[in-house]
RNA sequence: GGUGAGGUGGCUGAGUGGUCGAAAGCACAUCUUUGCUAAAGAUGCGUAGCCUUAACAGCUACCGAGGGUUCGAAUCCCUCCCUCACCGCCA
């Protein structure tokens, strides 16, 4: 969330920056400021009364010790106590409301984030490789998956409904091979520590990373235990250090985690899309970094490079775009999307979204570090997919299909897959 | 799930109603001295909020969480959470 002090000092600047996301936040900002005003005056009054009570209570204690009659004082303090309760309720209510409002305000886009209305205005930063060409009509992954008995959408629907899939045989093996390949790459070559995290999380964790309170309708929730299925490993992994004060010389912290991701995709227009493109459950290897404000910009570049490396090693054509202010995520200050080419789709698929959240998540989860001078400061958090598996699966089988429908995987996967041929 | 023990500052660990934000030790930081791969001494050393400020200072809250009793709660009562041990169950 945003720093209330920044809101107090530069409300117009805040409104202006938020405006670039689309939508008008000025009423919300003004409401926060007026609540803040009320909260502080109630708080000041309460503390003054508490101070009075502490002083008089001590007098009572000492008076009793000396055998004096303290009943008049006791009556007076009782009255003060009643007023403390009263004003305290006001202060607490204002505080709760202020927090609630602050949690619903998105992050400020980074100064370098291109201003734009929608995805159409996202600039393309770079491309790698070229669009592969075929002297036959390339099939899509659904056809290929069915040809080789790798993907069973009917079984997925039978078990859990639409937008769930069952991987079979070489399909299941390829998925597992990719998970291991990605984890090995990031832990061995890129210096991330591997994390195996719970696939469910408490509400506090989701508030910390920003999925709650605003986007609860996108989450699967187990009401009996009040736990949420994680929509991304970002949630458990970033929250690993919630409410901690880290040592500056231990930063950056770099984590890589494989988890499945669960998303309700409520109201998503694209849910009817064919195949693996948009599922309620998909696998992902996520990269998370916790760093200092000074280094977060550079860490975003290297994080993105780490994710790109995946596609380079697999020989898949991709491009990197930057999300403009109108398309950027709720908590993000700056985001690069990596899109891989899928020949069977004839389009690019987003396989990674690398974001710098600045101190936005850190404030929500009270994640700080002690700097060189011993001062506590909020960390900066980043994350990016390295990469999403389902769409990578799509790009791989569609890119490396042969005229007869067989698939010849890149050699680098051989030790993981146990060969390179499917079909 | 059952029974028992326990949750205090970075760590260990005192503290059962009042000058306790909390003894002591360790760790850490700065300084001093002796001197050299160390010892001794002094001082300092939690977090957040409020009010101010150039800054210091001051005030308030926080002893797992939330409620209650009381003029006053780390301390008494209630509920919950977590940790450990044993039992039960189980991949």
Task: Give the bases of strand B that a protein CB approaches within 7 Å.
Answer: 18-19, 47-51, 59-61, 71-72
CB-based burial, A35-54: b 16+ in 10 Å, e otherwise:
bbebbbebbebbeebeeebe
For A71-125, the DSSP string reads HHHHHHHHHHHHHHHHHHHHHHHHHHHHHHHHHTSPPPPPTTSPP-SSGGGPPEE
pLDDT digits (tens, 9 = 90+) for A68-121: 888 888 888 898 988 998 898 888 889 989 998 999 999 999 999 999 999 999
* Cβ A187 to strand B below 7 Å: no
What average pLDDT does range A32-51 have in this prediction? 92
Report yes or no: A35 and A10 within 8 Å, Cβ to Cβ. no
Q: Which residue segments constitute the domains of chain A, with CATH numbers given?
A: 4-103 (1.10.287.40), 119-422 (3.30.930.10)
Residues 6+ apart with CB under 8 A from A210: A330, A331, A357, A360, A361, A364
Residue A233 has pLDDT above 80, yes or no: yes
pLDDT at res. A339? 97
> How buried is A196 (Cβ within 10 angstroms: 0-12 exposed, 13-18 middle, 19+ buried)?
exposed
CB-side exposure of A2: number of CA atoms within 13 Å? 28
Which nucleotide is nearest, taking the CA of residue A50 and each C1'?
B60
Asked if the peptide bond before residue A158 counts as cis, ω within 30 degrees of 0, the response is no
Round to a whole number and report the distance in Å from the CA of A247 to the C1' of B35: 33
pLDDT at res. A152? 96
Reported as a pLDDT band with limits 50, 70 and 90, residue A245 is confident
> How buried is A82 (Cβ within 10 angstroms: 0-12 exposed, 13-18 middle, 19+ buried)?
exposed
Nearest to A382 by CA among A292, A288, A304: A288
* Cβ A368 to strand B below 7 Å: yes
Q: Strand A368-370 to strand A245-247: parallel, antiparallel, or no bridges (unpaired)? A: parallel
Coil, strand or helix at A406:
coil
Q: Which residue has the tokens 């009075």?
A: A52
**Tokens encoding A234:** 């970002």
pLDDT digits (tens, 9 = 90+) for A249-276: 888 999 999 999 999 988 765 556 789 9
pLDDT at res. A273? 76
* Cβ A37 to strand B below 7 Å: no
Q: What is the mean pLDDT of chain A?
A: 92
Round to a whole number and report the distance in Å from the CA of A376 to the C1' of B35: 37
- Cα torsion through A167, A173, A176, A178, rounded to 10: -110
Residue A409 has pLDDT above 90, yes or no: yes
Catalytic residues of A: 263, 278, 350, 353, 391
* In chain A, residues 60 through 89 whose Cβ sits under 7 angstroms from any atom of nucleic acid strand B: 60-62, 64, 74, 77-78, 81
Q: Give the Cα separation of A226 and A304 in Å (integer).
A: 34
What average pLDDT does range A198-227 have in this prediction? 90
pLDDT at res. A270? 56
Which nucleotide is nearest, taking the CA of residue A45 and each C1'?
B50
What average pLDDT does range A153-161 have in this prediction? 93
Reported as a pLDDT band with limits 50, 70 and 90, residue A370 is confident
Handedness of CA A201, A202, A204, A210 (dihedral sign): positive
Nearest to A179 by CA among A31, A73, A282, A291: A282
Which nucleotide is nearest, taking the CA of residue A5 and each C1'?
B49
pLDDT at res. A224? 80
pLDDT digits (tens, 9 = 90+) for A328-366: 999 999 999 999 999 999 999 999 999 999 999 999 998
Strand partners of residue A152: A166
Residue A65 has pLDDT above 80, yes or no: no
- Give the total residue count for chain A: 423
User: Which H or E run contains A394?
Assistant: helix A389-399
Maximum separation of any 2 CA atoms in chain A, in Å = 104
In this prediction, what percent of chain A has a pLDDT beyond 90? 74
Q: Give the Cα separation of A128 and A303 in Å (integer).
A: 17
Round to a whole number and report the distance in Å from the CA of A44 to the C1' of B60: 9
* In chain A, residues 242 through 261 whose Cβ sits under 7 angstroms from any atom of nucleic acid strand B: 245
Q: Give the Cα separation of A183 and A310 in Å (integer).
A: 10
Which nucleotide is nearest, taking the CA of residue A40 and each C1'?
B50
Round to a whole number and report the distance in Å from the CA of A99 to the C1' of B25: 41
Nearest to A317 by CA among A337, A339, A295: A339
Residue A321: CB atoms within 10 Å: 20
Round to a whole number and report the distance in Å from the CA of A81 to the C1' of B5: 37
**Tokens encoding A104:** 């619903």
Which nucleotide is nearest, taking the CA of residue A58 and each C1'?
B18
Coil, strand or helix at A282:
strand
Round to a whole number and report the distance in Å from the CA of A57 to the C1' of B91: 58
Round to a whole number and report the distance in Å from the CA of A131 to the C1' of B52: 64
Strand partners of residue A338: A320, A352
Least-confidence region, from A159-168, A248-257, A315-324, A370-379: A370-379
pLDDT at res. A269? 58
């Amino acid at each position: 969330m945003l720093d209330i002090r920044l809101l107090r000092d530069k409300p117009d600047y805040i409104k202006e920056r938020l405006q670039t996301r689309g939508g008008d936040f000025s009423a919300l900002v003004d409401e926060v400021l007026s609540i803040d005003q009320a909260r502080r005056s109630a708080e000041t009054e309460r503390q003054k009364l508490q101070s009075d009570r502490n002083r008089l209570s001590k007098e009572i204690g000492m008076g009793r010790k000396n055998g004096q009659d303290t009943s008049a004082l006791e009556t007076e303090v009782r009255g003060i106590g009643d007023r403390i309760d009263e004003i305290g309720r006001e202060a607490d209510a204002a505080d709760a409301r202020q927090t609630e409002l602050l949690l619903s305000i998105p992050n400020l886009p980074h100064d370098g984030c291109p201003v734009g209305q929608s995805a159409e205005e996202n600039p393309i930063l770079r491309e790698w490789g070229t669009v592969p060409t075929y002297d036959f009509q390339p099939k899509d992954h659904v056809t290929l998956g069915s040809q080789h008995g790798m993907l069973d959408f009917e079984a997925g629907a039978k078990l859990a409904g639409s937008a769930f899939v069952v991987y079979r045989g070489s399909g299941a093996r390829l998925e597992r091979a990719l998970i291991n390949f990605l984890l090995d790459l990031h832990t061995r070559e890129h210096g991330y520590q591997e994390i195996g995290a719970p696939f469910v999380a408490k509400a506090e964790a989701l508030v910390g990373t920003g999925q709650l309170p605003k986007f609860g309708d996108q989450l699967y929730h187990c009401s009996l235990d009040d736990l949420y299925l994680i929509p991304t490993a970002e949630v458990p992994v970033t929250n690993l250090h919630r409410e901690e004060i880290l040592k500056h010389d231990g930063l950056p912290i770099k984590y890589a985690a494989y988890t499945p991701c669960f998303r309700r995709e409520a109201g998503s227009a694209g849910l009817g899309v064919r195949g693996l493109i948009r599922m309620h459950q998909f696998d992902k290897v996520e990269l998370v970094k916790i760093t200092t404000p000074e280094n977060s910009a550079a860490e975003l570049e290297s994080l993105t490079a780490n994710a790109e490396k995946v596609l380079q090693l697999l020989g898949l054509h991709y491009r990197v775009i930057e999300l403009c202010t109108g398309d950027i995520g709720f908590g993000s200050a700056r985001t690069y999307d990596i899109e891989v080419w899928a020949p069977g789709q004839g389009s690019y698929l987003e396989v990674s979204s690398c974001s710098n959240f600045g101190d936005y998540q850190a404030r929500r989860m009270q994640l700080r570090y002690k700097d060189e001078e011993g001062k506590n400061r909020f960390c900066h958090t980043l994350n990016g997919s390295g990469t999403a598996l389902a769409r990578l699966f799509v790009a791989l089988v569609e890119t490396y299909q042969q005229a007869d429908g067989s698939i010849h995987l890149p050699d680098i996967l051989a030790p993981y897959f146990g060969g390179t041929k499917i079909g």
